[in-house]
Amino acid sequence: MKVAVHPFLLALFGALPVAAGVHEVWWNLSYAYNVSPDGLVPRRAIGVNGTWPPPPISVSANDTLIVHATNYLDNPSSLHHHGMYANKTAWYDGAVSITQCGIPYGQTATYVVDIPGSGQWGTYWVHAHSYGQYTDGLRAPFIIHPLQELQTYDDEYVVVLGDWYHQEHDPLLKHFMSIANPGGAEPVPDAPLMYFAHGDAYLPPIASATPNVSPSTNSVGFNENATLPFESGKTYRLRIVNTGAFAAMFFWIDGHEMRVIEVDGTDVEPYVVEQLNIAVAQRYSVLVTARNDTSSNWAIHGNMDTVMFDTVPASLNPNATSTITYSSSNSLKNLSPVPLEFYQPTDETVFVPSVVQPQLPPADQVVDLEVTFDTMNDGTNHAMFNMKTYNFPKVPTVFTQVEYANQNITELAFGELAFTLDHLSVVDIVVKNGDVGKHPFHIHGHKFQIINRGVDYTSNDTTLNPPLKEGQANPIRRDTIQLLPLHSATLRFVADNPGSWLFHCHIDWHFSSGLAAVFVEATPLLADASVPQFFKDQCATLDLPSQGNAAGNQDPNNLKGLPEGPFPQILGWRPKGIGAMFGCVLTATLGMATVTWYAVSGRKLTDEQLEEEVRRQRATKKSWKSVVASKLKSA
C-alpha cells in the first residue's frame, strides 16, 4: 500500500537535495541472561547480539533498511517491521507461516525494508512474529524521519511502554491453552515497563539507581530509574510505542500539556489530550513544551489497564512512574493517584490527518468478522472469528500465492479464515467484538480508514449502532485499532498490495489461540514474483514444505490434511468437558484459599489507594461480563 502524498509535500520534498542511502544492521537473535528491568526477578530474555533490550533503529524516509537476522534461539524466529507495507515483497513481512517458514537455528534471513518505495515515515517498531518471542523481549522501536517535518520541535525521545513477565512465554502459553484453564484467563504481567530512547541509543538510568544484576539492564533506565532531561522553553516530540504482549497502557505527564501529532505513522493536526489509552502495538507522537518554572521535576505515568486482567495479584504494582528532570537537585511532583474516571479510552476519530485523504468509495468487498471465545471440544479455550479458530497453513500463504498465481484456485486452498481480495478493490472489514475483553486488531501490509464505530453492535438503536456514512472528508488512518466489549468498527482500505496479509488481535495470548485471519490479495499479480531462495531453503531445513496449498498438497483442490479445529463444544457433559470443569473448580478453590490466607494473615497492599482503584476496576469488568453475556444471549 502506498500512502497518498499531499501536493505541498511533493513540492517540498522535490526542492530538497535527496541522497538515498542504505541503513544496514546485523542482528544475532540471542539470549541475554539475568535480565531484570523491573528489578525483581532475573530471567533469560531474547535480545540482540547478547544484550537486552534490542537496539532502537532510526532511519530517514529515503533510506532502505536491510536487516541481517541470524537465529541463535531455541525455536525458529523471524522479524516483523510493524506497520510497514512491504509493497509487493510480502515475503519480507516476517509473519511465520504466512510469509516465511521461520529462520532455523544458526541460519540468517535478510529483510529488505523498502522505505522509499512505501512512502512511509513516523513511529513504528520491530518485533519477532514467531513462538511468542516478542513477549520474551525481541522488540524494539523503529523510527523513520521524513525529509521535512510538518511540526517544529527542538528534540525528540522515544517512550517505550510494555508489560513484563517473570516466566518465559512457553510455559505461560501451555497453561493458558490447557484444559486447566477452560475460561481462558490470560497470564497477568508481573510488571509494567517504561524506558526511553534518543536516536539509536537508550537513555541510561538516573545516577542514584541501584545497580542491577544484569550488565545489559544496568545500562538502561527503567521505570523509576528512567528520566527525560528537559530544558525550559524547549519543545520535545515524544514518540510513544506500546510494545507489550497483553496490557493496554494509560500514559500522561503531570504538569505538562500533550499535543498529539501522529497516530500509527499518520501525521495529524495538533490535538490536546489529558492522557492517552495506548493499546498493544499502537503508537502516538505528542509535542510537550517544557515549563518556564523549572523548580520541580515531574512524574511521567505509564499505567497498565488492569480491567483487562481476570485477576490482579496483590503483589502487582500496575503503574510505572518515570520523571521529567529539570535539575537533579529538584524535588519530584507526582499528582497521582487520579480518579478512576480519568482512565478513558482514546477516541481516535477526533484526530485529523494532515495529509488529506477523503473516504474511499463504497466497498466492493465486505468481510464480516465477529469475535468470540469458547471452550472447545478438546476442553481448551480458543479465540475465533465467525466461530472458527485460525490455524496456520502448512505452506506459507504467500508461497502458495506465487505458485498458483496463474490458476483459478479455491479460496480454501489458502486455509480457513483466508479471504481472497481482488486487485484494487475497496475492502471493508467489519469487526464486531462479542467477547468480554478489549482487543487491539492490527492489519499487515496496509493502513485502514476508520469509517464507522458502534458501541453495541447487537442493538437496533442507531445511537449505539449507527449506520455507515459515506463521503467523510478525511477519516483517521492507522494500522491498529482497539475494540471494547460489544463495540464494532468498519475499516476500509484499497487492495493495492499483492501478497498475504495477517489481520489479528495483537494480544499475544489471543493471537496464539487463534484470533486471526489472512487477506490473500491480488494473487494473479504475483505470477512473475520470485520468493528469495533462502526462504525456501530454510523451510527445507525445518522439514516444512515450501510448495503446495495450505494442506501441503500439490493439487490445489486437494484439501486432505488441511489444518483445522478444535471446534466449539457440543452442548452436554462429555469427558473432556468434565475434566475442564474440574480444572475450573480446582482453580476457583485455590483462589478462595488464597483470599482466605490473605485475610487471616492480615497482609495488605502497601498502597491502599491502588488497592481501592483495582477493586473498582474489577467490579467494572464484572459488570461488563454480565452486560455482554446478556446482550449476546438476546441477540
Predicted confidence at residue 578, as pLDDT, reads 42
Q: For position 75, what pLDDT does the model report? A: 98
The pLDDT value given to residue 571:
59
User: Once rounded to an integer, what is the mean pLDDT over residues 355-365?
Assistant: 98
Q: How far apart are CA 443 and CA 453, in angstroms?
A: 17
Residue 285 makes CB contacts below 8 A (sequence gap 6+) with 122, 123, 237, 238, 239, 240, 260, 261, 262
Read off the DSSP letter of residue 495: -
Cα distances (angstroms) measured from residue 486 to each of 268, 621, 625, 628: 28, 13, 10, 7
- Cα 470 to Cα 454: distance, rounded to the nearest angstrom: 15
State the pLDDT at residue 215.
73
Q: What pLDDT, on a 0 to 100 scale, did the predictor assign at position 218?
A: 85
Please report the pLDDT score of residue 217 as a whole number: 78
Query: Each residue of 531-576: pLDDT tens digit?
Result: 999 999 999 999 999 999 999 999 999 999 999 999 998 754 444 4
Q: Please state, in angstroms and rounded to a whole number, the distance separating the CA atoms of residues 135 and 512.
A: 12
Residue 212 half-sphere exposure toward CB, CA atoms < 13 A: 26
SS3 state at 231: coil
Least confident of 404-418, 427-441, 450-464, 612-626: 612-626
Which tens digits make up the pLDDT trace of 376-402?
999 999 999 999 999 999 999 999 999
User: Which is more confident, 160 or 16?
Assistant: 160
Q: Quick one: pLDDT at residue 625?
A: 53
pLDDT of residue 576: 44
Element containing residue 587 per DSSP (H, E): helix 575-601
For residues 148 and 16, is the Cβ–Cβ distance under 8 A? yes
- Would the pLDDT of 8 be above 50? no
pLDDT of residue 575: 42
556-to-74, 408, 414, 530 alpha-carbon distances in Å: 33, 10, 9, 19
Q: Does the pLDDT value for residue 463 go beyond 80?
A: yes
Note the pLDDT of residue 2: 38
Listing from the earlier edge strand, what are the strands of the sheet with 381-385? 381-385, 365-375, 426-433, 488-494, 448-454, 477-478
Encode pLDDT of 16-48 as tens digits: 334 579 999 999 999 999 999 999 999 999 999
Average of pLDDT values for 154-182? 97
Q: List Cα–Cα distances, 253 to 225, 258, 273, 322, 324, in angstroms.
A: 16, 8, 11, 9, 8
pLDDT of 627 reads 56
Q: What is the pLDDT of residues 285-300, one digit of tens each?
A: 999 999 999 999 999 9
Q: Residue 248's pLDDT band (boundaries 50, 70, 90)?
A: very high
Poorest-pLDDT segment among 96-110, 351-365, 580-594: 580-594
Q: Higher model confidence: residue 593 or residue 135?
A: 135
C-alpha atoms less than 13 angstroms from C-alpha of 133 in its C-beta half-sphere: 32
Q: According to the model, what pLDDT value does residue 635 have?
A: 57
pLDDT confidence tier of residue 319, bands split at 50, 70 and 90: very high
% pLDDT > 90, the chain: 84
Burial of 104 (0-12, 13-18, 19+ CB in 10 A): buried
Q: Give the residue with greater pLDDT, 569 vs 193.
A: 193
Share of residues in the chain with pLDDT > 70 (%):
86
Inform me whether the pLDDT recorded for 589 exceeds 90.
Answer: no
Cα(494)–Cα(428) distance, integer angstroms: 9
DSSP summary character for residue 233: T
pLDDT at 127 over 80: yes
Looking at every residue in the chain, the average pLDDT score rounds to 90
183 pLDDT above the threshold of 50: yes
Amino acid, res. 463: T
For position 15, what pLDDT does the model report? 34
Per-residue exposure over 210-229, b if at least 16 CB sit within 10 Å of its own CB, e if not? eebebebbeebbbbbbbbbb
pLDDT digits (tens, 9 = 90+) for 595-626: 333 333 333 334 455 445 445 544 555 555 55
Q: Give dist(CA 442, CA 486) in Å, integer.
A: 18
